[in-house]
Chains A and B, each alone.
Chain A
Amino acid sequence: MTSVANAVVPGQRLGHVQEYSAGPGTYSHQDFLYASVVGIKKIIEAQGELPTLTVQRENSQSAMPEIDAIVTCKVVRVNPRFAAVNIMVVGETPCKDDFQGIIRVQDVRATEKDKVKIYNSFRPGDIVRAQVISLGDARSYYLSTASNELGVIFGTSVAGGSLVPISWQEMQCTKTKAIELRKCAKPM
């Protein structure tokens, strides 16, 4: 295979800093660029700039939340100040071990923040799509659902049926037709 010829391992020297700029999977040390992961070396040409050297990983590192990343998480606890969640998927990559996150009451929606009640937005067991806004404290990442496409995507009603969104803050049980309050995500 031709791609195997470009296969590199961490520490392999790839080029000179004057010829290339360092992309993902590489780092510069003194005057040279080195690979930092096992993978296939790629050169991305750019107009007017130095071409970027990247190494596309063969074995992707297990997913980790990063600032601005869209994550999918499950609500584990709620209290008046925040909803505690387990971050299960970052982007489209499932995490092997769940990371902890919290959605604070002021981060639930963008408008009328002072009227938000956590209990009318999330319930334990809901699956929520959210965005990472900061690395948070020692334990939890801080997440936000203040955007139309962010919020609850799956939920189970009190009666045990699944919930279908009917407006951006209401969901209906498929079994009993009862309406429950949630901060829903707008289906994409």
Chain B
Amino acid sequence: MATDRKRVAGPESSVAPLVEYPIDHQPWTPFTEKRHDSHRQPEDLRPIYLKTGLISEANGSAYIELEKTKLTCGVYGPRPVKRAGQGFSDRGTLNCEIKFATFSCVKRRGTMRDAQEKELSQILSQGLTPAVRLELFPKSNVDIYITVLESDGWGSCIAAAFTVASVALAHAGIEMLDLVAGCSASYIPTSIPSTSSSTTSEAPSEGATGSITPQIFMDADLEEEKFQQGSIVLAYMPSLNQTTHVLQSGKAEGAIISQSVEHCVEACNKIFAVMNHALLESIDQKTV
């Protein structure tokens, strides 16, 4: 960081100030209220705003907003492979890169691409590649760039990245087998574990949650994720009824996982309707 000579330099190190909550401050907990956003039921998604064609220079682009979560995506290609040393290939390649804006999270993020962003980029290309007809563009490259402007919930951010990227691909006129919709769910225990009676914003300790069957919260936001004992992100092709990527972390019983996959598939079909609408809207604007 300190040796980054290509940016306007700040101090060598800086930290976020400590936040002190007043005594009467009561943060949201899953034990007192159903959801962080009281208008939502556990199975409800946040309303999705999806629009295509914001980046005029890109072949295809899209913007997605799930309340506070905001992502933009630009697709370039098929274009010639720029990297040397890549042999002849009769299939195209899909290259995906996601970048969090420095101001997108509660804590300021670094300007360089970090390991987490690299991992996420990998996940996204793995989840999107099965949907793209790469055999139709030999020795070319399709580049997908995603910028997270604001993130409210880690899982929902990855899910939104799948959705926005596949809409941008379709907008770029790239031949695909199907769209890919992404959806996330968190497993959150909803009753206070007997050992702890605190109402602080700290998540309940590991051991205490073991015996409680958690509730599945669809499309959890950041406050809700603080209480999760596990989560799942599903990338799914709604028309072909096929899953392209599953990212499960944390612990949960098999029954909960299969139930959450079912919920996610159901939600993906709802998201698909929004994607469908956004893409057809771009036709409308042209023909009218």
> Does A pair with B?
yes
Q: How far is the CA of A37 from the CA of B178 in the complex (A)?
A: 9
Our pick among B79, B84, B179 for the contact of A10 (Cβ within 8 Å) is: B179
Q: Of residues 11 to 61 in B, which have CB atoms within 8 Å of A's CB atoms? A: 59-60
Q: Are B237 and A61 in contact (CB under 8 A)?
A: no
Q: Are B276 and A59 in contact (CB under 8 A)?
A: no
Residues of A near B288 (CB, < 8 A) are: 1
Q: Which of B136-144, B189-197, B217-225 contacts A (4 or more CB under 8 A)?
A: B136-144
Question: Is B252 interfacial (CB-CB < 8 Å)?
Answer: no
List A residues at the B interface (Cβ < 8 Å): 1, 3-4, 7, 9-13, 25, 27, 29, 34, 36-40, 57-62, 64, 95-100, 135, 137-139
List 15 extra interface pairs beyond A61-B59, A138-B139, CB under 8 A.
A1-B287, A4-B280, A4-B284, A7-B280, A7-B283, A9-B170, A11-B238, A25-B175, A34-B240, A40-B283, A58-B173, A96-B76, A97-B77, A135-B139, A138-B81
Interface size, chain B (Cβ < 8 Å): 44
Contacts A10-B170, A138-B87; A62 near B59 (Cβ below 8 A): yes
A-B residue pairs, 5 tightest by C-beta? A11-B178, A11-B239, A61-B173, A97-B79, A10-B176
Residues of A near B179 (CB, < 8 A) are: 9-11
Q: Are B173 and A59 in contact (CB under 8 A)?
A: yes
Q: Are B240 and A9 in contact (CB under 8 A)?
A: no
Q: Are A138 and B86 in contact (CB under 8 A)?
A: yes
Residues of B near A37 (CB, < 8 A) are: 170, 173-176
Q: Which of B90, B140, B172, B283 has the most CB of A within 10 A?
A: B283
**Shortest beta-carbon distance from A89 to chain B in Å:** 15
Q: Are A9 and B276 in contact (CB under 8 A)?
A: yes
Q: List 19 A-B contacts (CB under 8 A).
A: A4-B280, A4-B283, A4-B284, A7-B280, A10-B131, A12-B239, A38-B170, A38-B173, A38-B279, A38-B282, A40-B283, A58-B173, A59-B173, A61-B174, A62-B172, A64-B137, A95-B79, A97-B77, A138-B88
